[in-house]
């Protein structure tokens, strides 16, 4: 997706979620600039709160100050109580949203194991399933003794991770060689 295509959609109020996160990340990595703006159309902020109370000024020597009636103290203070209830509900909504974010399981998990030998397993990141995980292995160290080789003879190894996280770290049929691997597991909720 081009920068031009994603920027207007996000500026228009698109919610970033796990379904479109990769699209957003690709746009940013390709140089797009995204601007975060407040949402909540209809005049309200992100909390959904819009002020309802509007004070009507009393005029000296014109408005009688009284407890009852449409313009009395009681009616105005009850209107303020309603306004405070709206504010409390908006704050509660924000508190709930923050609590949900704090308690939400991570969407991405990583496990890094620095030293693995042939046959060892890379653990699945905590809170994820093996089916949601991709495994990778790469060389940490390769030791080769060239004193027992003839000129031009190849020395080498294979290092990779199988789909279940088992590391393959093998040398090519030579004595005096050893290989160690580093393993990485990357998990994404819902799988790749």
pLDDT per residue as tens digits for the range 84-107: 988 888 888 888 888 887 787 778
pLDDT band, residue 160 (cuts 50/70/90): very high
CA-atom Rg of the chain in angstroms: 32
Give the pLDDT score at 28: 75
Look at residue 126 and tell me whether its pLDDT is greater than 50: yes
Q: Which helix (H) or strand (E) holds 78?
A: helix 73-103
Give the pLDDT score at 41: 45
pLDDT band, residue 36 (cuts 50/70/90): low
């Amino acid at each position: 997706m081009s920068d031009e295509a994603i920027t207007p959609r996000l500026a228009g109020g698109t919610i970033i979620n796990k379904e479109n996160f990769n699209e957003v990340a690709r746009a940013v990595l390709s140089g797009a600039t995204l601007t975060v703006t407040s949402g909540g159309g209809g005049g309200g902020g992100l909390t959904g709160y819009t002020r309802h109370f509007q004070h009507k000024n009393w005029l000296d020597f014109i408005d009688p100050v009284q407890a009852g009636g449409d313009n009395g103290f009681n009616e105005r203070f009850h209107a303020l109580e309603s306004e405070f209830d709206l504010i409390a509900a908006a704050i509660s909504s924000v508190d709930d949203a923050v609590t949900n974010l704090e308690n939400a399981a991570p969407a991405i998990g990583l496990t890094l194991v620095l030293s693995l030998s042939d046959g060892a397993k890379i653990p699945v990141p905590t809170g994820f399933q093996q089916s949601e995980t991709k495994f990778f292995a790469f060389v940490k160290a390769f030791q080769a003794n060239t004193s027992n080789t003839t000129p031009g003879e190849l020395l080498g190894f294979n290092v990779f991770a199988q789909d279940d996280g088992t590391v393959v770290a093998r040398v090519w049929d030579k004595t005096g060689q050893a290989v160690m691997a580093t393993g990485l597991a990357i998990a994404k909720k819902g799988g790749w």
